[in-house]
Amino acid sequence: MEGITKFNKVHDILDFHVNKNPDGVAVSIDNADHKNTDILSKVLSLVEFLKENEIKSGDRIAFLAKNSSEFIEVMYASSLLELVMVPINFRLAYEEVKFIIKDSGSKLIIFGEEFKELVEKLNSDKTDLQLSVEISELGKLLKSKSSGALDVSLYSNKDANTPLFQMYTSGTTGNPKGALISQKGIMSLITNGMDKLGPFDPNAVNLVCMPLFHIAGSAWLFFGLASGSKNILLVDIDPEKILDIIENFNVATTLMVPAVIQMVVVAAEKNSKVLKNVKNIVFGASPMAVDTLKRAQKIFPNSNFTHVYGMTETTGMFMSLDPSELKANRRLESCGKCFSNSEIKIVDADNNEVPTNTIGEIICRTDQIMDGYFNRERANNEAIKDGWFYTGDAGYLDEEGYLFIRDRIKDLIITGGENVYPAEVENALMLQPSIIDCAVIGVSDPKWGEAVLALVIVNNDNFSEIEVRSSLRSQLAGFKLPKTFHVVDSLPRNAGGKITKHVLREKYAYLGK
């Protein structure tokens, strides 16, 4: 695609589109359009503001707000000045936010007005923060600054290895770690991801549903910005609003996690909506129930559905399943094959590559791999070895090289000496019409060591434990069958849409013996 190979750093995207289409709308949020020239003016004013406040190359800028155009402006300014942006999950509690601020050594925090009280508390605590600016006040400050044309040569030393983001992982074990996402990794993601997940049309509309503090949200935004599409940012997940935006603004491309697709499907069916304008829906973070996929295909009959696999540490997705596989009902549980810049292997506990169709740990090598975790030497040595990133995910490759993920290594259940991968049981459960959502964990058992516990959200009119158990016997070995079913109203998820198994293990440990 024109322009993609010219990008060296993220701010080159802005420079390119300001010159190519200055009046083009880059971002729209709450019906307010932001043209390329508008964003450029604010970015240059922000650069001047940051310089005046002695925010220098390598310094950290924390960003705590819901999706907004200011995220993009801070990102571009950070790229120009070689600062490191620290996006923070706005759902975190105070102590969690404080940990990230202290761990990152952020000198400045830019925040949404709903987090004013939290930031005031931060300012009274002991951190490295020198300045805190509310987004609404930032706009007033920038109006007094001069802006002009962007001379990239004044800001760029052409070193694409510098980090742009310090994104904190969800911290499923212990405190979160700040993954350093480099300019080089982002550029590689854009080049290879757009090739696999497109087409991205500069005249089309791209919907960004995911929060931008999450790699899935920011990665999807990169594609839209790089292509020159109009990018509509969603502030809060609301299935009715998603449908309205898709219908009224002729959305062509979007990325959603399966949990959101499920909500959108239910809302669309309720309102008898069929939307033919969508061309591509990308999903990841967790498997999609086959029933949900088939219902979504009816609602978006002209859309490709593309399953992707990746994580924060790999700058987002680096694998995808060709949409033709899903259309043909083949490999519905696979996340496909690598982008051209990546490769994977499946290894055992001794780091030996395992045979086809044998479960082991997924390791990958790609130029999208993070520069490491900030100030975490031990974690870096464990995660990256000889250029290979150890994902902690368990999976296998079939005869044709398609990847199937089975679970997190740490989520493995060992019952009576047999290995049970929760995802395999969950996939079988999701085929049951009476089960809306589920999670499978291990709980202590005096006889078997661990027992399989299924936490299920059910359709109360249809659910029968006896019928479900009977149905599962034809799909799963006896030792994989849940010993106990426990009906719940909801399941905890992190910002990426993944169920937080460690929370469930703590909460339902009492169900063990």
- The structural domains of the chain, ordered by start, are 412-511 (3.30.300.30)
Parallel/antiparallel/unpaired status of strands 230-233 and 251-255? unpaired
Query: In 3D, which of 409, 372, 410 has the Cα closest to residue 389?
Result: 372
Helices marked H in 128-210 = 135-143, 183-197
DSSP string for residues in 63-112: EESSS-HHHHHHHHHHHHHT-EEEE--TTS-HHHHHHHHHHHT-SEEEE-
Q: What is the pLDDT of residues 111-158, one digit of tens each?
A: 999 999 999 999 998 888 999 999 988 877 777 665 566 666 666 566
Where the chain has pLDDT below 70, the residues are 1-6, 144-158, 170-174, 286-287, 496, 513
Q: How far is CA 19 from the centre of its chain?
A: 31
Write out the two tokens for 211. 């929060």
- Which residue do the tokens 């516990």 mark? 453
Please choose, from the candidates 71, 259, 244, the residue with its C-alpha nearest in 3D space to the C-alpha of residue 165: 71
Cα(305)–Cα(329) distance, integer angstroms: 12
Token pair belonging to 138: 């930032």
- Residue 498's pLDDT is 80
d(CA 296, CA 275): 10
Kindly tell me the burial class for residue 316, based on how many C-beta atoms sit within 10 Å of its own C-beta (0-12, 13-18, 19 or more). buried
Q: What's the predicted TM-score (pTM) here? A: 0.85
Query: ∠8-13-17 over CA atoms, to 5°?
Result: 140
Amino acid at 229: S
The first and second tokens of residue 204, run together, are 């089309």
In angstroms, the Cα distances linking 401 to 319, 397, 404 are 12, 5, 10
- Would you state the pLDDT for residue 3? 44
* CB proximity list for 120: less than 8 A, separation 6 or greater: none
The letter for the amino acid at 307 is: H
Q: Write down the pLDDT at residue 258.
A: 85
E strand or H helix that includes residue 397: strand 388-397
User: What amino acid occupies position 294?
Assistant: K
Nearest to 197 by CA among 314, 331, 304: 304
Looking at the DSSP bridge assignments, the partners of residue 168 are 178
What pLDDT, on the 0 to 100 scale, is given for residue 155? 64
**How confident is the model at residue 153, as a pLDDT?**
62
Give SS3 for 496: coil
Inter-axis angle of helices 183-197 and 10-20, nearest 10: 60
Q: Are 496 and 309 in contact (CB under 8 A)?
A: no
In this prediction, residue 114 carries a pLDDT of: 95
Q: At what angle do helices 10-20 and 69-81 cross, to 10 degrees?
A: 110
Start-to-end Cα distance in the chain: 59
* The pLDDT value given to residue 14: 95
Please name the helix (run of DSSP H) or strand (run of DSSP E) that holds residue 406, with its range, or none. Answer: strand 403-408
pLDDT of residue 171: 53
**Secondary structure of residue 202 in the 3-state scheme:** coil
Residues 6+ apart with CB under 8 A from 445: 415, 451, 483, 512, 513
**Considering only CA atoms, which of 475, 422, 410 is closest in space to residue 451?**
422
Q: Enter the tokens of residue 506.
A: 């703590």
Q: What is the DSSP string of 269-338?
A: HHTT-------EEEE-SSPPPHHHHHHHHHHSTT-EEEEEEEEGGGTEEEEEE-HHHHHTT-STTEEEEE
* Residue partners of 200: CB distance under 8 A and separation at least 6: 1, 194, 206, 223, 224, 226, 227, 229, 253
Two structure tokens written together for 66: 């819901």
Dihedrals phi, psi of 251, to nearest 5 degrees:
-65, 135
The sign of the torsion formed by the CA atoms of 405, 406, 409, 411 equals: positive
Question: Which pLDDT score is estimated for 144?
Answer: 62
What's the DSSP call for residue 359?
-
For residues 38 and 400, what is the distance between their CA atoms, to the nearest angstrom?
Answer: 49
**Angstrom distance (rounded) from CA 219 to CA 310:** 11
Q: Are 31 and 44 in contact (CB under 8 A)?
A: no
Q: Are 36 and 44 in contact (CB under 8 A)?
A: no
452 beta partners? 442
